[in-house]
Chain A
Amino acid sequence: MGTNLDIKVKHLTRVEGHGDIVVNMKEGRLEKAQLEIVEAPRYFEAMLKGRSFHEAAIITSRICGICSLGHQITSLKTTEQALGLEVSDQTVALRKLCIHGATLQSNILHAYFLAAPDFLNVGSVFPLVGSHPEVVKRALRMKRLANDMGDVISGRAVHPITPVPGGFTAIPSASALKELKRRLEEDMYPDLLATVETLKSLAGAIPGFTRETEYISLRNDHEYALYDGDICSSDTGRISDTEYRKMTNEFVVPHSTSKHCKVNRSSYMAGALARWNNNHDKLGELAHTAAAALGLTPDCYNPYMNTIAQVVEAADCAIDSIRLLDELLANGLKDELPNQEPTKFGTGVGCTEVPRGILYHEYTYDNKGRIVKANCIIPTGQNLANIDDDMKKLVPEIIEKSKEEITLHLEMLVRAYDPCISCSVHLLDVEFVE
């Protein structure tokens, strides 16, 4: 062949955080195909050291504004396990609602604002304001409602306020919840159907690339696992969340300020597509209808389909939110206070499915309730090795195309993962010396 190719996309756009795509092919031999993470490291471990359990979630939610709710809930679960704080069923239900809201908002944002411009061949969502005003207005309406779920239940959609160890500092009013339910039923439901229609018309733009890999997500017996569950690998099955280190295996690579991860193969995938592959049997009717309409089948090995899997689970989040709201309203909201009396001081592990995949936090507390050791493993970090492996398979397959087209395919690939780079660059794995 003898092809030479040299691609460098500096500060890739429409992703969260700073990353470069670098591809080098010399005389038909692929020398390099990787996503280089150049985001400045932030050293959250130094910040957590010695901080009280009240502050852990406030700090870790600042790892990432996009995934702030996910970090917060995961952090709270971790702290509660470490300190032996029981939470009520109402707290769990409200937290699940928050996660649904955050997943909806993040998946909609990604599909409409970051990915859709690729399908329509424009550089951003702004030209669509003029060319597709109804679609943009719909996207904004859906996002608003998803954010309002965050505002109503957790005080604020970005960096939520009310979720604290042991519960919530304020309980939303029944009337506010009723209003959310009404809007989910009357606005979100038709908007989701319309979204599926819009995407169906664009599905032709999704590349047909496939590569089977290991898929890792939470799984439990009673629902589409987002809030909790066992860790499940498509290769080796379920293990308990406390053994999460077996399922991550981090290592440092020179081209990335973020550490990489692998388990049974050279890489694995986390996120919406992994969840779909592992848990599609737990999704409801609307999600399955949407999946069928959009050509998402079980055991889908096309990473570009991650965006579609996000839309499918967004539909499920909306429906499950209505169910949770019904349940909360039927039980009557209790104005309960957070349980903040530790019964022990030790180590806790929390894992939650956040939009980009499975998120792990682990903290150890001293007997004054201050952090001595912390570790967080972020989904985007877990996906980085997989993205590099995808690129290595993809580039030779499309080498006949123009450089521009190859670049676009690569950019779209990275965007399909919806990577959250700022999250990925501060893995915490430190023993603090007291």
Chain B
Amino acid sequence: MAEKPRVAIFDFTGCEGCELNQLNFEDQLLDILAHVDIVEWREAMDDRAAEYDIAFVEGSLSTPDCITRINDIRRRTKVLVALGACAVQGGINGMKNTQAIEEVREEVYGEDKYLFPTLPALALHEVVKVDYNVRGCPMTQIEFLKLFTSLVMGKQPIEPDHAVCVDCKLKENECVYERGMICLGPVTRAGCDAQCPSVGQYCTGCRGLVTNPNLSGMEEILVEHGLSVDEAWKRLELYNANDLEGAR
């Protein structure tokens, strides 16, 4: 293998749970560090670097400053990886886009709203080219490790594009619909090993939608289980408001 790839980690608007999840690889951290050099990571270290081979970026873009920074990162890195729901598809932050931005700001800061500029929360791919995604909220650790080994081996990682239900059935979980809950697993992209349904909680859709989801079919399922049409779409929008814009 040639030189170790230089890795940088950045965060934008988000909860930094994905970054924390990187520090939570206690059992693998030393192996990971054997394969890469971490050259910039504000949350964990002081150093800054001029360029890098791989940039992992968490969070969505929601201020003019974010846009400048992400463009700068894109210029400095060979590979850009979006880490977690906020970066990949806008995530939770996208919910605020469903309301008029001025209203939202006024609600929080009242008259002081102009002190702090804000934009609709954008996923990274809406502004720059993203090479790979690690989905989930927080980013799925098993998927991160898969991506990591792929990058070290110099192969393109494959993104799963089937429903969470598949993984859920592979694990022989009792379907949470059986437990009287509703679940977004049927249209949500797998890769998390059906983490939530495996412990009795419904899938909230954090990993984004599968390609070409049948949304009206999903709406029908949710409505049949007692939600109003509006509530059904609110459920779907929890992590996917940006992708669902105009779909309703």
Residues of A at the B interface (CB closer than 8 Å) are: 11, 13-18, 38-43, 45-47, 49-52, 55, 58-59, 62-66, 68, 109, 113-114, 117, 123-126, 129, 137, 140-141, 143-144, 147, 155-159, 161-162, 164, 169-170, 252, 254, 257, 422, 426-430, 432
Do B15 and A13 touch across chains, with their CB atoms under 8 A apart?
Answer: no
What is the CB-to-nearest-CB distance from A198 to chain B, in angstroms, rounded to a whole number? 18
Chain B residues lying within 8 Å of A432, measured Cβ to Cβ, are 107
Query: Which of B24, B44, B105 is the one whose CB lies under 8 Å from A14?
Result: B44
Question: A367–B183 Cα gap in the complex (Å)?
Answer: 23
Partner of B201, one of A47, A162, A429: A162
Contact A65 B17 (CB under 8 A): yes
- Inter-chain contacts of B65 with A (CB < 8 A): 38, 40
A17 and B18 CA atoms in complex are apart in Å by 13
CB distance from A82 to the nearest CB of B (A): 19
Q: Given the complex of chains A and B, what is the CA–CA distance between A427 and B116 in angstroms?
A: 14
Q: Does B152 contact A (CB under 8 A)?
A: no
The CA-CA distance from A121 to B20 in the complex, in Å, is 23
Instruction: Please give 15 more A-B residue pairs, beta carbons under 8 A apart, in addition to A40-B116, A124-B44.
Output: A14-B42, A14-B45, A14-B46, A46-B103, A52-B231, A55-B238, A62-B137, A65-B138, A66-B16, A140-B26, A144-B26, A159-B138, A254-B115, A422-B14, A429-B108
Decide if A43 touches B96 in the complex (CB within 8 Å). Answer: yes
Q: Are B201 and A155 in contact (CB under 8 A)?
A: yes
Measured CB to CB, the nearest residue on chain A to B100 is A46
Distance, CA A427 to CA B108, complexed state (A)? 7
Report how far A113 CA is from B45 CA in the complex, Å: 9
Question: In the bound complex, what is the Cα–Cα distance between A334 and B192 (angstroms)?
Answer: 28
Measured between beta carbons, the chain A residues less than 8 angstroms from B247 are: none
Q: Are B195 and A16 in contact (CB under 8 A)?
A: no
By the criterion CB–CB under 8 Å, are B108 and A16 in contact?
Answer: no
Among A66, A140, A158, find the residue whose CB has the most chain B CB atoms closer than 10 A.
A158
Q: Give B178 Cβ to nearest chain A Cβ, in Å.
A: 13
* Interchain CB contact under 8 A, B26 and A141: yes
Interface residues of B in 36-60 (CB under 8 A from A): 38, 41-47
In the complex, what distance in Å separates the CA atom of A125 from the CA atom of B30? 12
Q: Do A159 and B33 have beta carbons less than 8 Å apart?
A: no
Cβ distance A321 to chain B, nearest Cβ, rounded Å = 18
Do A124 and B24 have beta carbons less than 8 Å apart? no
Query: Closest approach, in angstroms, between the C-beta of A84 and any C-beta of chain B?
Result: 20
Q: Is B234 in contact with chain A by the CB < 8 A criterion?
A: yes
CA distance A426 to B195 in the complex (A): 28
Contact of B46 among A65, A124, A169 (CB under 8 A): A124
Docked-complex contact B201 and A169, CB < 8 angstroms: yes
Name the distance in Å between A202's Cβ and chain B's nearest Cβ: 18
Measured between C-beta atoms, what is the minimum distance from B121 to chain A in Å? 8
Known contacts A40-B118, A47-B95, A161-B201: A68-B17 contact under CB 8 Å: yes
The 7 closest A-B pairs by CB, nearest first: A65-B17, A124-B45, A169-B200, A123-B46, A144-B26, A65-B15, A47-B95
Query: Is A42 within 8 A of B26, CB to CB?
Result: no
Q: Chain B contacts of A63 at CB under 8 A?
A: 15
**Which residues of chain B in 143-187 are interfacial with respect to chain A, using CB atoms and an 8 Å cutoff?**
none
Instruction: Name A66's closest neighbour in chain B (CB-CB).
Output: B20
B residues in contact with A62, CB < 8 Å: 15, 17, 91-92, 137
Distance of A16 Cα from B200 Cα, bound (Å)? 31
| Known A14-B44, A126-B38: A169·B17 in contact at CB below 8 Å | no
CA distance A17 to B66 in the complex (A): 14
| Neighbour of A51 across the interface among B20, B27, B234, CB < 8 A | B234
A-B contacts, 25 listed (Cβ < 8 Å): A14-B46, A16-B43, A40-B63, A40-B66, A41-B62, A42-B62, A50-B234, A59-B92, A62-B17, A65-B20, A113-B23, A113-B44, A124-B47, A141-B26, A144-B27, A155-B201, A156-B138, A158-B20, A161-B196, A162-B199, A169-B199, A170-B200, A257-B115, A422-B14, A430-B107
Residues in B with CB closer than 8 Å to A429 are: 108
Name the residue of chain A whose CB is nearest to the CB of B17.
A65
**Selected contact of B108 from candidates A11, A157, A169, A428, CB within 8 Å:** A428
Complex Cα spacing A114 to B41, Å: 12
Q: Which residues of A contact B43 (CB under 8 A)?
A: 13-16
Bound form: Cα–Cα A65–B92 in Å: 13
B212 at the interface (CB under 8 A from A): no
> For the complex, what is the distance from the CA of A46 to the CA of B62, rounded to whole Å?
15
| Complex-state Cα separation, A426 to B92, whole angstroms | 13
A41 nearest in chain B by CB position:
B116
The reply to whether B104 and A40 form a contact with Cβ atoms under 8 Å apart is no
In contact, B15 and A422 (Cβ under 8 angstroms): yes
Asked whether B68 is an interface residue with its Cβ less than 8 Å from the other chain, the reply is no
* Neighbouring A residues of B30 by C-beta, 8 Å: 129, 137, 140
In the bound assembly, the distance between CA atoms of A38 and B116 in angstroms comes to: 9
